Amino acid sequence: MSVIYPLACLALMLAPEPQENGQRRDPPARFRILYFPWNTRTGTGLQTVLVDRDTIYRANAGHLHRYRPDLPISSSRTDGWEAFHQALIRVKDLSGEVKHKGYKHRKLPEYQHPCLMEIVPQCSADNLEVARPILHRARTHTVLNKIRLGNVDDPASAPFMLFGLHRDESEKTQLRTALERTPPPLHAVVLDARHRSIDALGAEWYASLEFILAELRNIHGTLPVLAVTDEPYIQHILATTLLPAHHGIPRLESVPTFARHSSRRPGALFEDPPSFVPSGAQAIQSSSFDGTTLKLISQIRTLRKKARDLRDFEADLALRDLQRAVRRCSRLSSGVENLSEFVYQEIDRDDDITHDLMAPYDVRAPIRRLTSSIGSALQLTMHESIGALDERLHAFSQEVRESPPMARLLRDTLKRTFAKSANTIVVLPIPMEAAHAQKALSDDLVMGAEVRNLISEAKLQFFDIRGLQAELEADSARRIQTAILVAPPPSLALEVMALPTLPEHLILLADMDHLRQIGDGAMRLSKLREFESLAARFGRLGRAAAEEIQRHQGHPVPLHLDELDLDDYVPSARERTINLLSAEDDRGGPLIELRTNQGVRIHARPKTKLVLFDREAPTNPFYEKEAQQVKQGDHLCVIGEQFEDMARTLIDLRVPAEEVRAYHEEVRQRISALSGGLSEKARAIYERIQKVGQQPPSHDRLIDWIRVDAYLSEDVRTVRPHAPWRIEDFLAFTRALGISETRARRYWSSIQGTRSRRLSVGLLRHEAYRTVLVKPYSVVVPTEVGALRAFAEQHVDEIANIIVKEIPS
């Protein structure tokens, strides 16, 4: 959304029509804004958007014509515009030549024109230091580095200026000081109310925005406000309550028509979004649970509100982490203990990584932080309530250790679905939970045999949201009859509902609280004219949620929310540990753990190549460096699941599937030499593996690995590899078939690359995007690469600590 201000300034600059033989232009309107929340990286992605040099030159030369002394009416030289126009006419000298030793004798197209980001200055509202002056990139890296532009960037007199207010300055005293220091006039306010920004303000986001607008009115008067958000509930609150109050208007009952929506994706700012006619989702059902989980969350919310009232922010954070852990544990398809064992096996029995991956599911750690905090205001005033919470939490942890509430609900739903639907897809919030669900249900004593059979026939599949999107984009979408969405966070559920093509039958499984939030968001969106094509689908979802809640409560319950819990409204359990280790890494070498300011842990080896970020680089700000060379304070691009969620919509970097097809063909060739049917062939392979001292897999798994005729008939773009999950098992299996180890390891790399559900996703995903980000393009790159870089800048984090762990051989 940082594109809004420079585009507005560009329009104002070009708006006055040329007069007097096409030369003189009247002064543009001054436009100085406050942008909140702001940081030094806000808008850096706009360096890929170039503005025509000749247009800028002609417009500003025309504006300078006003200052000719021989004109009967000339402009005042103290109005701030003369220095601005004199600065921008210098773009005529941009030739593409860069004054940098690495680019000697080269001309780069992005330095033949200014970028959108540098035609207006930006400064911090707190200290009035100019973070990005006019033409800052050109003045740093080209022949313009020798020019002096006077006071063009002076915050007091510049006619165009973006004053950035950092979120850390939202504390009342700091905020008031920053606003008092900001020189008038201000003409407008831009509020970034997207979830990422609102979440940073915490649970008191509404009060923070309300206070900021009140202080602005007191100091700078009532200013126009443009707020941009990506959450329907926040949009409703802004449009009906906060902004009307700012302008002295009574509270509105509904979102006004001027509060428009945009479906443009990042990187496509100047392209009209494609139109589509949605298909599918004609039948939508929902099932839910309540019980201990919701009672716990209710207790936690009450204590969090009290902690905020007491300004005990450490207690609030501990309770927030507890609330998230309770959500994660309750939505599992099998017990927490079973998940832990699954993770331990999948990552080659590494205790450290298992601990990191399971940390988000530890409900005891946050409560320990709360009860052991010395001097905690919440602990002192609410000791009995915390004790009651601890008792209920103990019972909850015993329950989810073996059988979380979602495990029972999912099994009952699958039993009913198997009787009605031939092809079903189960969608879980994150890949690790999707892989675990497949394993847990395949091993289930009651329904495991049926699940394994359906999986082997490709009639039952388990994915996360990205896997669902890939399936629906492929031809196989027509074969999927039912999609079961398991505990989707509200924003994720609404995102799925906006996909162009969905299966005919959708089943939503969630706890009662989440279901109400999903229903509320769906009904809000169904009433907005910009979503007219999806209104019927959103309406069906809202009604399904209302009917399920009524079934539980015994009477109609309004979906309308009085308060939104942001911790529940976003995709939770995002990975906080990114594993960049591979199965072939030398276990005797040191493990390097990088910890970032945002709490992400990255596990790497000394030679692992990482993507770093340098905002002052003349062209591509991304470069690579080995893990052993990085240092504290370096800025790192965090390429994890959250990054790929959006990045894959910009540029899809899948490992080619032809190698997987070649693997399946070789397996077919090898098993053709064995006598008997599939069962006899599987028994022969079992005996060969057992003879060499290896623990053979189950008979059913061997059947799944050799049923290759079915897999070879699938679309090469969507076929999943059917092979062992661990490399030791894979090598034992291929050795039993007579495939050499060298050839088997080559197949293994391809198989890992196409497993969208794998736990060891970090390394291959990181390598794929790293190659694109650091490739020596100039800044003018293919559209999708430019969009990816702009998006990647939102995922840059500072390295706070580096830990080297020596791992014995």
Nearest to 50 by CA among 133, 138, 132: 138
Nearest to 723 by CA among 740, 747, 699: 747
| Residue 396, Cβ density class (10 Å: 0-12 exposed, 13-18 middle, ≥19 buried) | buried
Q: Which of 173-182, 332-341, 587-596 has the lowest mean pLDDT?
A: 587-596
Is the predicted pLDDT of residue 320 greater than 80, yes or no?
yes
By DSSP bridging, strand 622-626 and strand 609-613 are antiparallel
User: Between the CA of residue 498 and those of 234, 412, 423, 531, 537, what are the distances in Å?
Assistant: 18, 27, 22, 9, 9
Q: 521 near 561, Cβ under 8 Å?
A: no
pLDDT tens figures, 388-423: 999 999 999 999 998 999 999 999 999 999 888 778
How many other C-beta atoms can be found within 10 angstroms of the C-beta atom of residue 674?
17
Is the predicted pLDDT of residue 505 greater than 90, yes or no?
yes
Is the predicted pLDDT of residue 300 greater than 90, yes or no?
yes
Tell me the residue type at 564: L
pLDDT tens figures, 423-441: 899 999 888 888 899 999 9
Kindly write down the DSSP assignment for every residue of 522-581, as one continuous string.
Answer: HHHHHT-GGGGGGHHHHHHHHHHHHHHHHHHHSS------SS--HHHHS-----SEEE--
Q: Dihedral (C-alpha) 236, 242, 246, 251: value to the nearest 10 degrees?
A: 70
pLDDT tens figures, 336-351: 999 999 888 876 666 6
Q: What is the pLDDT of residue 224?
A: 93
Please say whether the dihedral angle defined by the alpha carbons of residues 346, 352, 353 and 354, taken in this order, is positive or negative: positive
Q: Which of 47-51, 410-414, 549-553, 804-808 has the lowest mean pLDDT?
A: 804-808
Alpha-carbon span 80 to 84, nearest angstrom: 7
How confident is the model over 186-211, as a mean pLDDT? Answer: 84
Nearest to 395 by CA among 253, 319, 292: 292
pLDDT tens figures, 548-576: 988 888 776 665 555 555 554 433 333 46
Q: What is the pLDDT of residue 370?
A: 87
Kindly write down the DSSP assignment for every residue of 327-367, as one continuous string.
Answer: HHHHT-SS-HHHHHHHHHHHTTS-HHHHHHHHGGG-SHHHH
> DSSP secondary-structure letter at 588?
T
Q: Give the model's confidence band at 598: pLDDT under 50 very low, under 70 low, under 90 confident, else very high.
A: confident
End-to-end alpha-carbon separation of the chain, Å?
A: 51
Is the predicted pLDDT of residue 132 greater than 80, yes or no?
yes
The token duo for 163 is 């004053």
Q: What is the pLDDT of residue 650?
A: 53
Q: What SS3 string covers 446-483?
A: CCHHHHHHHHHCCCEEEECHHHHHHHHHCHHHHHCCEE
Please give the mean pLDDT across all residues of the chain.
80
Q: What is the pLDDT of residue 486?
A: 94
**Which residues have CB under 8 Å from 376's CB, separation 6+?**
312, 314, 315, 370
Residue 409 DSSP SS3: helix
Q: Give the model's confidence band at 269: pLDDT under 50 very low, under 70 low, under 90 confident, else very high.
A: very low
Q: Give the model's confidence band at 510: pLDDT under 50 very low, under 70 low, under 90 confident, else very high.
A: very high
Is the predicted pLDDT of residue 20 greater than 70, yes or no?
no
pLDDT tens figures, 87-107: 899 999 888 888 766 666 667
pLDDT tens figures, 55-75: 999 899 888 888 776 655 555
Alpha-carbon span 683 to 685, nearest angstrom: 5
How confident is the model over 678-702, as a mean pLDDT? Answer: 86
Nearest to 434 by CA among 720, 217, 182: 720
3-state helix, strand, coil in the chain (%, to 5): 50, 10, 35
Q: What is the pLDDT of residue 569?
A: 42
Kindly write down the DSSP assignment for every residue of 195-214, as one continuous string.
Answer: HHHHHHH-TTHHHHHHHHHH
Alpha-carbon span 376 to 306, nearest angstrom: 12
Alpha-carbon span 809 to 806, nearest angstrom: 9
Q: What is the pLDDT of residue 573?
A: 34
User: Between the CA of residue 605 and those of 355, 534, 585, 613, what are the distances in Å?
Assistant: 19, 48, 8, 20
Query: What global pTM score does this model have?
Result: 0.67
Alpha-carbon span 644 to 765, nearest angstrom: 8
